Amino acid sequence: MARGLQPGWPARPPEVRWGLREAFLCLVLAQLFSPFWASGVFGLAGMDLGDDPTSLVVFIGANVGLWLAYLAGSILISRRLGRGPRTDFDVRIIDGWEAAESVMIGIGLQLIALPLLYGLMGRFIDVDPGESARMIVDLVDGPLDVVLLTFAVVLVAPVVEEIFYRGVFLPALANVAGPIVGVTGSALIFALVHQQLVVIPGLTLFGLVVAWQTATTGRIGPGIVTHMAFNATTVVQLLLASPDL
């Protein structure tokens, strides 16, 4: 991680013409679209969201609308106001070492950095950052649910979230206030949007790391791999600790 800021990052006008207005609009519309999506999809299926609140399918299905809105909004912004998704959202990993480094960073954040952070916080306040994640894993009922959870949390969520938060939001903020504010501000927004007070410190730390990866490589690929490894470590830990699996 001992890199400097990538020269030429973020791209500025006339190469890209989106800013914080478009980034925040996409963020807000995604949050508003998600509940309408869930109600519509499950309504068409003849299912009331309250019928089976303990279903993993219901939980993931409710998040699909959010992911779709993030992805569609990001692609639209890039096509209309940028250089195109392939260039603006550079998902490349240049070599095996970079991939391995990103995996190690993700695992290290989950197994070392976050326990240290919350251990320190625990000296002053009562915190349980794993409660929400355990609630999700408790919805798992059989091998198919394990596959579904892994696909959604380890593969889909990291790609979509990195495209929006580090591909769209981070450069928009960095162009206005500079790379350091961009990295810090995008990490904080990423954490706040999860709407759970106890996870904000941990997700802010995580967001700072992947945002710095983006700023120092000029690509979101390393951050995606780090995000995948981070989420995968959580899923594996919780599945191994679950008495029902």
Q: What are the tens digits of pLDDT across the range 190-231?
A: 999 987 889 999 999 999 999 999 999 999 999 999 999 999
- Give the per-residue pLDDT at 231: 96
Closest CA to 167 of 239, 73, 244, 235: 73
Confidence category of residue 94, pLDDT binned at 50, 70, 90: very high
Least confident range from 10-14, 21-25, 130-134: namely 130-134
Confidence category of residue 53, pLDDT binned at 50, 70, 90: very low
Asked whether the beta carbons of 173 and 23 are under 8 A apart, the reply is yes
- Give the per-residue pLDDT at 195: 78
Query: Looking at the predicted structure, is the pLDDT value of residue 244 above 70?
Result: no
Q: How many CA atoms lie within 13 A of 167 on its CB side?
A: 34
Asked whether the beta carbons of 85 and 74 are under 8 A apart, the reply is yes
pTM value is 0.92
- Overall average pLDDT of the 153-176 stretch: 97
Per the model's pLDDT, the better-predicted residue between 141 and 192 turns out to be 192
Percentage helix, strand, coil for the chain under 3-state DSSP, each rounded to 5: 75, 0, 25
Least confident range from 43-47, 134-138, 152-156: namely 43-47
